[in-house]
């Protein structure tokens, strides 16, 4: 049966058919691509998630430890980490398109601009 079913007392109440389940037996790459085909926002969500985890995680941890957060540095680091994930996505068809990759690279360059022009390291 395709989809996810919620059961209550043995009776099927709701079929959760948000997207088709990926074939998990053919490797993680196939699972990612088939999920991306079902949910086109999936790769972008992974990229945004990566960016925010590094940015918020790094900056909040730095603030907790030394009292201030170097946001331009963490933004640059987060965008470089995101770009690495995006580049891995480019290896196969179906995960990322040239527009999304261009946006990721543009964000990386803008983060670099913020980093190099920020007054915190002058």
Partner 1 sequence: MGLIKTTGALMLITLFALAVITFAANFANDNEAAVDVGDDEDLSSIKTKAKSDLSQMRTDAETSIDALQDSSIGTQSEATEGGTQFKVTATNSLGMAKNVLTAAWNSLFGKAEEFNVLLTALISFFTLVIGWYIYKAWRGNPD
* Piece of 10-18, 56-64, 66-74, 111-119 that binds partner 1 (CB under 8 A): 111-119
What is the separation of C-alpha 38 from the centre of its chain, rounded to a whole number of angstroms?
17
At what angle are helices 98-117 and 71-89 packed, to 10 degrees? 160
Using CB under 8 A as the criterion, what x/- string covers residues 16-55 for binding partner 1? ----------------------------------------
Using alpha carbons, select from 20, 32, 47 the residue that is nearest to residue 102: 47
17's enclosing H/E stretch is none
Q: What is the CA radius of gyration of the chain?
A: 19
Instruction: Write the CB contacts of 60 (distance below 8 Å, at least 6 apart in sequence).
Output: 69
Min dist. Cβ of residue 99 to partner 1 (A): 8
* Piece of 5-13, 46-54, 57-65, 84-92 that binds partner 1 (CB under 8 A): 84-92
* Piece of 11-19, 44-52, 61-69, 83-91 that binds partner 1 (CB under 8 A): 83-91
Of 16, 83, 85, 120, the one binding partner 1 by CB under 8 A: 83
Q: Which phi and psi (to 5°) does residue 10 adopt?
A: 90, -15
Residues of this chain that bind partner 1 (CB under 8 A): 83, 87, 89-93, 96-98, 101-102, 105-106, 108-109, 112-113, 116-117, 119, 122
């Amino acid at each position: 049966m395709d989809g996810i079913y919620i059961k209550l007392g043995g009776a099927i109440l709701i079929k959760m058919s948000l997207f088709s389940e990926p074939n998990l037996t053919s490797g993680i790459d196939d699972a990612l691509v088939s999920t991306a085909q079902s949910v086109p926002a999936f790769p972008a969500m992974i990229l945004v998630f990566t960016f925010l985890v590094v940015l918020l995680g790094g900056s909040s941890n730095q603030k907790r430890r030394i009292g201030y957060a170097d946001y331009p540095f963490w933004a640059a680091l987060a965008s470089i980490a995101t770009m690495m994930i995006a580049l891995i996505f480019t290896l196969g068809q179906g995960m990322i398109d040239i527009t999304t990759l261009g946006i990721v690279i543009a964000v990386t360059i803008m983060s670099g601009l913020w980093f190099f022009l920020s007054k915190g390291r002058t």
